Each structure stands twice: as C-alpha cells, then as structure tokens.
Amino acid sequence: MGESRKISLSVNGKTYEEEVEVRFTLADFLRQQLGLTGTHLGCEHGVCGACTILLNGRSARSCLMLAVQADGQEITTIEGIAPSEDEMHPLQEAFRDNHGLQCGFCTPGMLTTLIEFLGDNPDPTEQEVREAISGNLCRCTGYQGIVAAALDAAQRLREANGA
C-alpha cells in the first residue's frame, strides 16, 4: 500500500469515514472501496464522461479527481438518483420510455450531467440538450433517444413542479 489519508465524505446521503490511498482517483474509490460500481470508467482521461458524478450538486469527472479531494464534500452517484428503491427519478423513467440507453455504459454520466443541466435549465431546446451532453460520449444510441428522454424528463419535472 502507498501513502494513505483518512477522508470523510457524504455519498448519496450516507456519511463515510475511510482510509484511502492518496493516489486513488475518486472513481476508483467509489467503485472499489465503496462498491458503488454504477459509476463507470470509459476513458480515464476526462473525455467520455461516463464517470460523471455530482459533486455538491455540480457535475464532475470522477476519473480526473483524487479521492482525497472529495474530503468533506457531498457526492451523488447514479445509485443515489432515484427517490426510493421502488421508484425511479423522472429522468430515469424518461430514459426507459424513450430508449435513451442501449448497452447502458454511458448512462450514469448522462443521467448525472442531465440532472444538473435540467436543474439549471428546466425548459431547454433540443440544441441546448445536445450542447449539455456534448461532453458525454455514447457509441450505441446516436444520442437521439437520449435527447428525446431529456426533453421528456424536462416536461415531466416541470409538471411535477407545477409549472
């Protein structure tokens, strides 16, 4: 084992106190140490976006951050998006209804990126959605189902919020 530090952080609402190797990326820490393997690694150089998580509500590449940098921060991963075990988030529902995923490998990053985006822009145009996910690569869908899902989810969220 190399040098390690103790960190304390909140992941999906749960507080963790963990000893972590200083060179571990946040992604490897989440996946290997906490067992939260829903966050995926597609390129490990910050381009594909599959590893995107929410860091204090803002999207961030967990492959480009060290775990120690997350000390004291609040993180949400794909495992923490749904409101309960029996219920999916409207964005997740919209992905299913609009065929927004095929192999599902890029999906965690798409969902986290879009949750942040729809929070900032609840009524986006198609082009705005495309720009929002321009940092997330998908090799299966051609993005069409993802864009449709995002627009559908935006509407569902607006309706749920009484807009």
Quick one: 47 or 64, whose CB is closer to another protein? 47
Taking the complex as a whole, the smallest distance from the CB of residue 153 to another protein amounts, in Å, to 12
Which residues are near another protein by CB under 8 A? 1-2, 21, 23-24, 28, 31-32, 35-45, 47-48, 50, 77-79, 81-82, 88, 92, 95-97, 99, 101-108, 111, 126-127, 129-131, 133-147
Taking the complex as a whole, the smallest distance from the CB of residue 49 to another protein amounts, in Å, to 9
Taking the complex as a whole, the smallest distance from the CB of residue 104 to another protein amounts, in Å, to 3
Query: What is the C-alpha separation between 6 and 96, in angstroms, rounded?
Result: 39
The structure tokens 């939260």 sit at 36
Quick one: 27 or 162, whose CB is closer to another protein? 27
Taking the complex as a whole, the smallest distance from the CB of residue 152 to another protein amounts, in Å, to 13
Query: What is the C-alpha separation between 157 and 61, in angstroms, rounded?
Result: 25
Quick one: 10 or 37, whose CB is closer to another protein? 37
Query: What is the C-alpha separation between 160 and 8, in angstroms, rounded?
Result: 34
Element (H, E) at 155: helix 144-160
Quick one: 98 or 163, whose CB is closer to another protein? 98
Residue 1 token pair = 């084992």
> Coil, strand or helix: which one is 82?
coil
Q: Are 57 and 144 in contact (CB under 8 A)?
A: no
